A and B are shown apart, each in its own frame.
Chain A
Amino acid sequence: MRTGAARFDFPGFKVMTFLCLFILYAPLVIVMIYSFNDSRSITTWGGFSLRWYVDVFTGPDSAKFKSAAFNSFSIALIAATVATAIATSAALAMVRGGRFKLRTATFGVINLPILVPEIVTAVAILIFFNTIGFTRGYMTILVAHIAFCIPFAYLPISARMQGIEGVYEQAAMDLYADRKQAFRRVLLPMMMPGIFSGFLLAFIISLDDFIITNFVKGAGVETLPTAIFGSVKQGIRPNIMAISTMLLAFSTVIVTLSWLVSRIDRTK
């Protein structure tokens, strides 16, 4: 039935789609091109070169970027792992826990970090840490990231769980599996694609965050976004473009990975 949809095409829409893609990609492509620019100036083209990539790893700012990259990736890894575990557990209760009084409230709380503008969350967390005397630093960033990553991990996980009908677990239990076995052997494997994409989403969201991190970071603890922000204020240098291109490549690999996983799942 839906194949007839093409009949309701508007030729202008195709143009708009390409315009949309052009708008989305043009800035990224330009950054990518200029990261290979030999010239020190960002406005003139001085030939192809990899010097800015070398500069990222050996240049004067390399120590700063290395520690920022370490902070970013380690925080993203830990925060995404913890957030995914919490979100999976919450999704079990929300999707498989029947109706209960606080269900709507719980749903609201879980999604609060998505619904509330980031600056509000940032201010609230800053005030909170300050009141309890929690010194700003690596730990404050990590705690904040775990919290706001939860909804991003929760969305794909709960969506996936809703797609799995209860009959599978019921069947396993009819075959004398206990609840734990039914979970470990049946539900969990079936949920894996959802958990995986939830983890990746949380990972990227954490890696990407600027506003909250900028509020709660402490002495000398930078993540990649805050380090880049500090650098670009003094002018967009080619080494920033090189870092950006590497992050772009990294993100693309991750998204492709998650896309492939979801496709494997679909062929089942």
Chain B
Amino acid sequence: MHRQLRTSAIALCTGLGFATAAVAEGEVVVYHWFEYIPQELVDKFEAETGITMVIDTYDSNEAMLASLRAGGMGTYDVAVPGDYMVQIMRDNDMLDTIEEGELSNHGNILPEWLDVDYDPGRRHSIPYQWGSTSFSVNRDVYDGAINTTDIIFNPPEELSGRINMLASQGEVMALAAIHLGIPMCSPDRDDMQALNDLLMGSREHWLSFNSDTAREILVSGDAAAGMIYDGFSARGRIEEGANIEYAFPTQGYIAWMDNMVLLNDAPNRENAIILMDFLLEPENVGMLTNFTQYSAGIAGVDDYLDPELAAQPERNPPEDAGPAVFIDVCDQQTQEIHDRMWTALRR
């Protein structure tokens, strides 16, 4: 007994030594999506720069915003919001400006991702990864056509009650609007009523709301269909051998780009800039993309990508696929009504 106590005391002291050593080297605190950066890349960054990367994770853009608003500002250096969330954070004055010339690899950003409307000229952010969101279906359970959003909102009998939805208000609302063929932030009362009726009516078909288990629940067979991101689905299919197919609905599906943003009051601003520069190096982004299996927004990455990646069905929409659309930022009044629908949906 005594020896156990002594051992744990020694372990505690050693741990303390580690912790202080890490602080001395400097760190960068990243607020990140779950499972969105490979450990090898973190190790590479730490080896090259001597900066410790501290990572905290979230599972939706909205949860990240809420946490930052609840006293999180000033504790993180960078975060990785999706396109529409960058705009919201910019409107709320949460982002620091990257001065011209601060990022030596700024020129690597692909031109089509440079002047994005949520951050013209990339003054606050850099591209992280981009991809799409729709849904995947377990082909062992259902082998009919899946190129329609009816799979989620008006499912065949085999899938009803076995569908997982993302716990992400923005994406669920957007897919519903796509299904109805209405503008995402339509302030029109009839449109909103229709949106609400659709969500409430489809609710009985849905098993759960989870983002971070979206892949696991499909792989394990606990759900037979579910909203999911393209690369996440690809990883479930390839790494875990699940017979799941990613759908490209004819009505359309969601496109997104996640971006690393520099937060206001960043405690380690200099290190944050070093990290952003690191994530603009083609080699590093290649490693990242091979892991996430999404797509990169910077030039020169292709040389570092796994050759199989380009041929993946998850990133090659068939001809009959609908348009890929980005999520809109709604005005306050519309957003508050959407918030009400979302809460009612999950009561």
Which A residues form the contact surface with B (CB < 8 A)? 43, 60-61, 66-67, 69-70, 73-74, 77, 126, 129-130, 133-137, 218-220, 222, 230, 233-235, 253, 257
Most buried by A among B8, B30, B56, B71: B71
Verify B39–A60 contact, CB threshold 8 A.
Answer: yes
Which 6 A-B residue pairs are closest in the complex by CB-CB distance? Answer: A220-B54, A235-B216, A70-B15, A219-B75, A233-B212, A60-B39
Bound Cα distance from A137 to B74, whole angstroms: 11
Given known A130-B71, A220-B55, A220-B56, contact A235–B213 (CB-CB < 8 A): yes
Report which of A74, A126, A220 forms a contact with B15, defined as CB distance below 8 A: A74
Across the interface, which residues of B come within 8 angstroms of A137, CB to CB? 75
B211 shortest CB reach to chain A, Å: 9
| B54 adjacent to A219 (CB under 8 Å) | yes
Given contacts A70-B19, A230-B57, A235-B220, 5 further A-B pairs with CB under 8 A are A66-B18, A67-B15, A67-B19, A219-B31, A233-B210
A219 in complex: contacting residue of B16, B70, B76, B215, CB < 8 Å: B76
Complexed CA–CA distance, A262 and B238 (Å) = 55
Select one of A43, A130, A135, A235 contacting B75, CB under 8 A.
A135
B11 to chain A, nearest CB (A): 8
CB B54 to nearest CB in A, in angstroms, measures: 3
B219 surroundings in chain A (CB, below 8 A): 235
Q: Which residues of B contact A43 (CB under 8 A)?
A: 220
CA distance A222 to B54 in the complex (A): 10
Residues of B within 8 A of A133 (CB): 71
From 304 to 344 in chain B, residues with beta carbon under 8 angstroms from any chain A beta carbon are none
Q: Mark B1-23, 1 if CB is under 8 A from A, else 0.
A: 10010001000100110110000
CA A16 – CA B247 in complex, angstroms? 50
B 40-65 binary contact with A (CB < 8 Å = 1; else 0): 00000000000000111101000000
B18 and A136 contacting across the interface, CB-CB below 8 Å: no
- B75 near A253: Cβ-Cβ < 8 Å: no
Distance, CA A222 to CA B331, complexed state (A): 36
Q: B31 near A70 (CB under 8 angstroms)?
A: no
Q: Pick 14 A–B contacts, CB within 8 A, sort by A.
A: A67-B18, A70-B16, A73-B15, A77-B12, A130-B70, A219-B56, A220-B56, A230-B34, A233-B212, A234-B34, A234-B215, A235-B216, A253-B4, A257-B1
Q: Does residue B35 face the partner (Cβ distance < 8 Å to A)? A: yes
Bound complex: CA A222 to CA B56 (Å): 8
Q: Is there a chain A Cβ closer than 8 Å to B187's Cβ?
A: no
Contact of A74 among B16, B35, B54, B57 (CB under 8 A): B16
Tell me the bound Cα distance from A130 to B66 in angstroms.
Answer: 13
In whole Å, how far is B14's beta carbon from the nearest beta carbon of chain A? 9
A63 to chain B, nearest CB (A): 9
* Nearest-CB residue, chain B, relative to A67: B19
Q: When the two chains form their complex, are residues A73 and B74 in contact, meaning their CB atoms are under 8 A apart?
A: no
A220 and B79 alpha carbons, distance in the complex (Å): 12
Taking a contact as CB atoms under 8 Å apart, the answer to whether B213 and A234 are in contact is yes
Q: Is the CB of B70 within 8 A of A218?
A: no
B260–chain A nearest beta-carbon distance, Å: 16
Which residues does chain B contribute within 8 Å of A235, judged by CB atoms? 213, 215-216, 219-220
CA distance A185 to B278 in the complex (A): 64
Judging by beta carbons under 8 Å apart, are B216 and A234 in contact?
yes
Q: How long is the Cα–Cα vector from A130 to B75 in the complex, in angstroms?
A: 13
B217, closest chain A residue (CB): A235
Q: Report whether B19 and A129 are in contact in the complex, using a CB–CB cutoff of 8 Å.
A: no
Pair A70/B12 contact, Cβ less than 8 Å? yes
* B residues less than 8 Å from A257 (CB atoms): 1
Q: Give the one of A129, A130, A219 with max B CB within 10 A.
A: A219
User: CA–CA, A69 to B35, complex, Å?
Assistant: 20
Residues of A within 8 A of B31 (CB): 219
B26 contacts A by Cβ under 8 Å: no
* A77, closest chain B residue (CB): B12
Contacts of A129 in B (CB 8 A): 71
